[in-house]
C-alpha cells in the first residue's frame, strides 16, 4: 500500500496507508461510531465535503452492496478506517470497498490509530485536516493555514437538479423537499403507499404548494443550517399553508429556524447508530441513528414550539412539536438503515397527522 499523511489543523501528523483513490485533499474531519452500515455512511449526502473517521476498527468485511446505498455515489471527501477488509465475505457483495472507492475517486486511509484520533476530536472538537503525500517542510505554517480555511459543504451540492416523481401510482401524495435526502426516507413513505414528488432545495413556495400534497417531508442534508437563508424564508411561507410538515435532521433545524429559533454548532457532533434520546412525554428512551454537527438551541424555541425529544448525553434538542401548525420534527433518523429502527413509528405519526392513519405500517 502507498503511504500518505493525515495532518490536523493543530499540527499533529498521522502516517497512514492508502486505499481507494490517490490524491490530496483538505476537509473537516469528523468521526462516526456506527459498528455496521458503512455503505450507508459512505453514501449519506449529509457527509458531503467531510473526511469521515470510523471508530469501529474493521470496515469492509461485507463488501459493497449497491442495494444498501443511500444515494447514487459516495458523498464524503475521504474515508479513514483502522483496518480495511481486503477479502469481504457476503452473498450480496459486489466487490471490495477499496475497489469501489477507487472507482468513485474517493481517498481512503487505513493503518492509523483511529482511537487516538477520535479522542483528539472529542477533546478539541471537529477540526480541519489534510491528506497529503508528503509532510510539508513548514508544518506550522501549513497547519495554521489549514485551521483558517473555511471547509464546509452546502445543500446546493447535494440536492436534486430537477423535480421528479417516485411511486407515481401511490394513493396519497407527499412532497419530499430535498436538501440531500437519504433513499430510505423515501422508501418508508413508498412502502406506506405514498406517491412522492421530490423537489430541489431552491424550489419556490408557490410551486411546492401548487402540488396540493397531503404533506411535506423536509429531508436531511449537510452544512450549517443558518446559512440556508433563502430556504428558511421559503419554508416560513410554506409553514403558513397548514399542510402537515415532518422535518428530519437538517429539515428539523430549518423548520425551527423558520419559526424563529437559533442553531448552534456542537463540539464534535452526533454521528453514529447508537445515540440515545429521551421522549419527554413518556420518559421513554430510544436508540437512534444520527449525523449532524449543529443543533437547535432549546432556549430559543418560540412559544408556539414544544421540545419533544432530548439527547441523553448532552441534553440538546432532538425533537420539536409545533402548537400553531400541523408540524413536528426530529434531529435523528427514524428511517435508519442499517438501524436502529426504534423510532420508525414517527412515519406513522406523520401519516396520522395527514389524516391517513389507516395507511400506517405495523
10 Å CB burial of residue 279 (0-12, 13-18, 19+) is middle
Alpha helices in 244-344 (DSSP H): 250-258
Q: What is the DSSP string of 36-104?
A: S-HHHHHT-GGGTTEEEEE-SSEE-TT---GGG-SSSS--SSEEE-SEE-SS---TT--S-HHHHHHHT
Q: For residues 164 and 166, what is the distance between their CA atoms, to the nearest angstrom?
A: 7
Q: For residues 196 and 17, what is the distance between their CA atoms, to the nearest angstrom?
A: 43
196 forms bridges with which residues in the sheet?
166, 174
Q: For residues 267 and 280, what is the distance between their CA atoms, to the nearest angstrom?
A: 24
Helix (H) or strand (E) holding 129: strand 127-132
* Residues designated catalytic: 249, 333, 335
Q: For residues 306 and 233, what is the distance between their CA atoms, to the nearest angstrom?
A: 21
Q: Is 111 left (phi over 0), alpha (psi -120 to 50) or beta?
A: left
Amino acid at each position: 500500500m502507498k503511504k500518505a499523511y493525515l495532518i490536523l489543523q493543530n499540527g499533529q501528523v498521522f502516517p497512514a496507508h492508502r486505499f481507494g483513490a490517490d490524491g490530496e485533499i483538505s476537509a473537516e474531519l469528523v468521526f462516526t461510531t456506527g459498528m455496521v452500515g458503512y455503505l450507508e455512511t459512505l453514501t449519506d449526502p449529509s457527509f458531503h465535503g467531510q473526511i469521515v473517521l470510523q471508530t469501529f476498527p474493521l470496515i469492509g468485511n461485507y463488501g459493497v452492496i449497491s442495494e444498501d446505498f443511500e444515494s447514487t455515489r459516495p458523498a464524503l471527501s475521504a474515508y479513514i478506517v483502522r483496518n480495511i477488509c481486503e477479502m469481504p465475505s457476503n452473498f450480496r457483495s459486489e466487490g471490495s470497498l477499496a475497489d469501489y472507492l477507487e472507482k468513485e475517486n474517493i481517498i481512503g486511509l487505513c493503518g492509523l490509530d483511529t482511537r487516538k484520533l477520535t479522542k483528539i476530536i472529542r477533546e478539541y472538537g471537529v477540526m480541519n485536516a489534510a491528506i497529503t503525500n508528503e509532510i510539508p517542510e513548514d508544518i506550522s505554517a501549513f497547519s495554521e493555514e489549514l485551521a483558517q480555511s473555511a471547509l464546509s459543504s452546502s445543500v446546493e451540492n447535494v440536492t436534486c437538479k430537477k423535480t421528479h416523481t417516485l411511486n407515481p401510482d401511490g394513493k396519497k401524495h407527499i412532497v419530499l423537499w430535498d436538501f440531500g435526502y437519504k433513499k430510505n426516507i423515501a422508501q418508508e413513505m413508498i412502502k406506506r403507499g405514498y406517491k412522492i414528488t421530490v423537489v430541489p432545495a431552491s424550489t419556490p413556495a408557490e410551486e411546492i404548494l401548487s402540488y396540493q400534497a397531503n404533506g411535506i417531508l423536509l429531508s436531511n442534508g449537510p452544512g450549517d443550517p443558518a446559512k440556508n437563508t433563502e430556504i428558511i424564508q421559503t419554508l416560513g411561507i410554506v409553514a403558513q399553508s397548514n399542510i402537515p410538515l415532518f422535518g428530519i435532521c437538517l429539515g428539523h433545524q430549518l423548520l425551527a429556524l423558520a419559526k424563529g429559533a437559533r442553531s448552534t454548532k456542537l463540539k464534535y457532533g452526533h454521528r453514529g447508530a447508537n445515540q440515545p434520546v429521551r421522549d419527554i412525554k413518556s420518559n421513554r428512551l430510544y436508540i437512534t441513528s444520527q449525523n449532524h454537527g449543529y443543533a437547535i438551541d432549546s432556549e430559543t424555541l418560540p412559544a408556539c414550539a414544544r421540545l419533544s425529544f432530548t439527547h441523553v448525553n448532552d441534553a440538546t434538542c432532538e425533537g420539536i412539536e409545533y402548537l400553531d401548525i400541523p408540524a413536528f420534527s426530529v434531529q435523528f433518523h427514524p428511517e435508519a438503515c442499517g438501524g436502529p429502527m426504534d423510532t420508525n413509528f414517527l412515519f406513522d405519526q406523520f401519516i396520522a397527522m395527514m389524516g391517513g392513519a389507516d395507511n400506517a405500517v405495523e
